[in-house]
Chain A
Amino acid sequence: MKRPIRVLVAKPGLDGHDRGAKVVANALRDAGMEIIYSGLHQTPEMIVEAAVQEDVDVIALSVLSGAHRTLFKRVRDLMDENGLGDVALLGGGIIPNQDIGELKKMGVREVFGPGTDTRRIVEYIRELFEKRHEGEKTG
């Protein structure tokens, strides 16, 4: 059986609402992926713990509060420390363009700002998944 892509959509920190994250979560679900939604006010530790237990292919962090630099770094570090080195970390939310370069250096694969066509996100994740499982038998 071809396995579905599993994505953890997470809201770290103090963000008060998750409308954007939910829009993305629904779009990914409609594209055939299994989405584990973390809920609000997650710590980086909680997010990585969930990612480990759920064996996700991708963690999509949505940050509105401006604390993106610390949060993304902490999550990426925890992922590496916990055996999730080959799991991709993606970003969304309110992230100033000038910070995207820095985030990518930290190990965030891509950042999708508000208004990104969700189809682009779907395609991007599908490609990541293909690459990660190249050579593995499907079916």
Chain B
Amino acid sequence: MHDAYLEKFLAGETLAASRLMSIVERGGDDAEAILTALFPRVGRAYRIGITGLAGAGKSTLVNRLIRHYRDQHLTVGVVAEDPTSPFSGGALLGDRVRMIDSCGDPGVFIRSIASRGSETGFSEKATELADVLDAFGRDVILLETIGIGQLEYKIHFSAHTTVVVLTPDAGDDVQSLKSGLMEIGDVFSVNKSDRPAAREYADELRSMIELRLSGSGWHPCVVATVGTTGEGVDELAGAIASHRAYLDTKGLFEEKRIQALRNRMTMLAEEKLKEFFWENEYIRGHFDDVLRDVSTGKQSPYQAAARIVESFKIEKQKGR
């Protein structure tokens, strides 16, 4: 069935791309077959990650950036992620609402994704959907994450340039910014810059960045923006372009690409290994017994885990 979709996808049909994305989202053998088929076509698009805390105005900025790239006659793909409720398993995917200026423009493909239980706030699935858009021929791909503000490093590895969006809201001190966010930003956007104390906030941010600089290497820029009016968006796009030029000049594209592939392969291999372990009949049959020894104090969890892995190895040697 997906061969038919692949044919239409290669012919440029949007619905086929969309249906393939759904299959990829579901995971499993079909997803892997599709991603394998598309792999030779992945790598042309420039990927920009947009992250930051909720309410910072990421979607509004993405809307502006889309128009900026469209004005340059570049085609755009957007993957916008929102959190899945841990209670209901459902999600309200509302980022699209803010990207209103792109309605009716076939040069913009917006796909909303729910995090579906991914703990890191940026799911591998989003990267895979970006792969599909990349293979589909989009020049620029914007990846908007939930903005939990922790463990956002994964987007850093999936995107060429990562933009961290912050706001000078009262009570939010630059000092209290989670260091993860500080580390992954190639460009910082101080959004809602029409608010009071925005300039001070931006200055403090620049100082903090200065302190963290380790000599040579990219010097992250801080751009003041007002997403709702579009102020500063040209500068933001300019900062992104500077970073891109830097990566190009220093020959860093290949390094980033290999790092991203390394991360992906590691994750996939570990996942398969976990499945292999938990599928094993012996493990399934004995795990609870071993757990009982731990809960009754006969063994520590450390001894028990070592023991069960040893047993697993023996089972495998015996061909079971």
What is A's interface to B at a CB cutoff of 8 Å? 1, 3-4, 25-26, 28-39, 42-43, 45-46, 49-50, 52-55, 82-84, 139
Contacts and interface: CB of A to CB of B under 8 A. Distances in A.
9 closest A-B pairs by beta carbon, nearest first, are A39-B97, A29-B90, A32-B89, A46-B103, A55-B18, A32-B90, A83-B15, A55-B22, A30-B88
Contacts of B124: none
Contacts of B93: 34-37, 54
B89 A46 contact: no
B111 A34 contact: no
Interface of B: 14-15, 18-19, 21-22, 25-28, 84-85, 88-94, 96-97, 100, 103-104, 109-112, 114, 116
Contact of B97 (A32, A37, A53, A139): A37
Contact of A49 (B22, B84, B92, B104): B104
A54 B18 contact: yes
Contacts of A4: 89-91, 114, 116
Contacts of A83: 15
Residue from the set B14, B89, B110 with the largest chain A CB neighbour count within 10 Å: B89
A29 B112 contact: no
Contacts of B91: 4, 29, 34-35
Contacts, number: 87
Q: Tell me which of A32, A34, A37 has the highest count of chain B C-beta atoms within 10 A of its own C-beta.
A: A34
Given A1-B27, A39-B97, A45-B104, A31 B90 contact: yes
Contact of A34 (B18, B96, B104, B114): B114
Nearest to A37: B94
Contacts of A29: 85, 88, 90-92
Contacts of A25: 92
A34 B93 CA distance: 7
Contacts of B15: 52, 55, 82-84
A37 B94 CA distance: 6
B23 to A, nearest CB: 9
User: Which residue, of A38, A43, A54, A84, has the highest number of chain B Cβ atoms within 10 A?
Assistant: A54
B111 A54 contact: yes
A46 B104 contact: yes
Given A1-B27, A50-B96, A34 B103 contact: no
Nearest to B82: A34
Taking chain A's interface residues, is the majority helix, strand, or loop, or is none over half, making it mixed?
Answer: mixed
A30 B90 contact: yes
B114 A52 contact: no
A49 B103 contact: yes
A123 to B, nearest CB: 15
Nearest to B13: A83
A41 to B, nearest CB: 9
A42 B99 CA distance: 12
A80 to B, nearest CB: 12
Contacts of B14: 52-53
Contacts of A34: 84, 90-91, 93, 112, 114
B61 to A, nearest CB: 17
A26 B18 CA distance: 24
A26 to B, nearest CB: 7
A34 B82 CA distance: 10
Given A1-B27, A32-B89, A55 B96 contact: no
Contacts of B111: 53-54
A55 B21 contact: yes
A39 B92 contact: no
Contact of B90 (A3, A33, A54): A33
B26 A1 contact: yes
Given A34-B90, A34-B112, A83-B15, 18 more contacts: A1-B28, A4-B91, A4-B114, A29-B85, A30-B85, A34-B91, A37-B93, A39-B96, A43-B103, A45-B103, A45-B104, A50-B103, A53-B18, A53-B110, A54-B93, A54-B96, A54-B111, A139-B28
Given A37-B97, A38-B97, A39-B100, A55 B19 contact: yes
